[in-house]
Amino acid sequence: MPILYTGTTLPISVSVGQTLVVKELTGTATVTGSSAAREDASSSIGAGFVVYGPQPSAVSLSMTTTGLCEWQIVNGDATPAKGALRVTLDPITGLDVLDEGSREVIDASLYKRTPRLKKLQSGIAKVMAGTGQCYIGMLGDSTTVGAGAGTGAKFLIGARSKSPTARLAAALVAAGIPASDDSWFGEHIIQAFQSVTREQYDSRFTVSAAASYHADGQYQSLGGIPFNLNSAGKAVNFTPTNTVDTVDIYSYNRVAGVFDVSFAGGASLGTVTNLVTPTIKKTTKTFTRGTGAVQAIWVSGNVDILGMVAYDSTTPRVNVMNWGTYGDKLTAANGYVNNVNEWRGGAALSVVAPDLVIVDMTINHEIADGLAGVSAYKAALTALCNDVVASGAGLVLATPHYVNNVAQTTGICDAYVAAIRDVALAFNAPISDVYRRLDDYATFNTQGMYADTLHLTAPGYAAKIQEVMRVINVWS
């Protein structure tokens, strides 16, 4: 705001409907020529403010002070209730700017500055210093899986390499942060729902001897349902894109079973024994640095393999993990929250111990449940956030992108977005606000961003990840 000093007399022209706003810093201001009386505006736009207007007609004012004052001209009423953002006219530049009341709102809001993701900052610092790994998990539905980015009738064939997790890893690398998504979790329920195999979706992953997954929803955890090895020769194989020397394998202690681990067709790295006590087990195997497939193969009993994360201990990276589940909702009976088993997604978070969890799971709720489901969704999202915080991870919540559905044209989605904002404020969590920042469906669709009326194409997911990058930009 322009400053007026003691003894200075300043002529000020005010147009119809405008208001002169004065902030008295070390003295008082005297304004003459005004057709409106002085009004104390402390209760509405901040302490020490007085206003003159809005003016019913164009007037020439004259202002003098007994001390130091600031002033500016506002377009309209200068005494809005706190929380209403207003634009004012800067008399020096002639440009529209936020008024003082709006700045006060911004200062107290979630969007002034992204809350610090301290665990992520620490993880990235370790990666940049070459002293340790960092882990980011993306938890969501089919849009996290990346449906729409591939080919075939379901747009799922080859979709992994263009999914949000792959896009996030690439964006981090482009920003100068070593990153990779050399990991897999669950079957994403794409085979059960969409008749597209895990191998078709992700060419890095194969099964041997018809190793199968469990039934839809059974033993569901991060990334959906696990693969089951229960007879000779059955195995899951994963070939990282980078050179690696370490793999973390996540399996279930559910029933007794033993599996063996090897790398690149080499000798056994040792067996892993799963017990009857129902928990998720993390096993770390190290080997000579190189390229090739990590194999987990049946030895005896009944074995459930949930996922793997492969990395090079000598070249730390941010390891991005895809925990999407096709068609899932937070409130589903076997979902991340309501599944009461010890291997549920929330319980698995503490075993994986990520540095950051990005939660993007709203679209199926708004479409299937409508307004009646908002309260249950908010409660489930809160429960999930408690799990994330309990695991020690940082938390980012995401709003949904636009879809061509009545839920987003009748205010239903707005209610879910409001619930996300409430939960974010409660946890002091930043929001990747795609709903606010990306275009509506009709506009975005003309740019080739949609594969169908809901799922994005590869460019669409790339655009969505740019908003994530803006939110987690903790190193700039």
At 282-293, the pLDDT tens digits run 999 999 999 999
DSSP reduced 3-state for 86: coil
Crossing angle of helices 164-174 and 458-471, rounded to 10°: 60
Spatial separation of the C-alpha atoms in residues 473 and 325, rounded to whole Å: 26
Residue 418 parent element (H or E)? helix 412-427
Of 87, 107, 127, the position where a domain reaches its end is 107
Comparison of pLDDT for 101 and 205, the residue scoring more: 205
Same domain, 180 and 317: yes
Q: Which two tokens stand for residue 193?
A: 């729902």
Q: Is the pLDDT of residue 367 over 90?
A: yes
Yes or no: say if 144 and 360 are a contact pair by the CB < 8 Å rule.
yes
pLDDT at 72: 77
pLDDT of residue 103: 56
Taking residues 105-123, what's their average pLDDT? 66
Residue 175 belongs to what domain range?
Answer: 118-471
With pLDDT > 90 as the criterion, what percentage of the chain qualifies? 61
Mean pLDDT of 353-366: 96
Q: How far is CA 23 from CA 1, 39, 472, in A?
A: 9, 12, 37
Residue 121 CB-half CA count within 13 A = 10
Q: Are 432 and 111 in contact (CB under 8 A)?
A: no
pLDDT digits (tens, 9 = 90+) for 398-413: 999 999 998 888 889 9
Task: For the beta carbon of residue 18, count every other beta carbon within 10 angstroms.
Answer: 21
Q: Say what the pLDDT of residue 4 is.
A: 58
Pairwise CA distance, residues 431 & 360, whole Å: 10
Looking at the fold, whether 170 and 78 belong to one and the same domain comes out as no
Same domain, 319 and 411: yes
Q: So what's the pLDDT on residue 44?
A: 56
How many distinct structural domains can be found in the chain? Answer: 2
Q: Judge whether residue 335 has pLDDT over 90.
A: no
Can you tell me the distance from the alpha carbon of 162 to that of 457, in angstroms, rounded to the nearest whole number? 8
**Segment holding 128, helix H or strand E:** helix 118-129
Higher pLDDT, 35 or 61: 61
| Residues 440-472: tens digit of each pLDDT | 888 888 888 999 999 999 999 999 999 999 888
Q: Is 94's pLDDT higher than 80?
A: no
Domain boundary among 88, 107, 126: 107
The set of residues, in sequence order, having a beta carbon less than 8 Å from that of 434 and lying 6+ positions away, is 398, 399, 400, 401, 464, 467
* CATH code (residue 446): 3.40.50.1110
DSSP 256: -
Query: In a 3-state reduction of DSSP, which class is residue 218?
Result: coil
> Does 81 reside within a domain?
yes
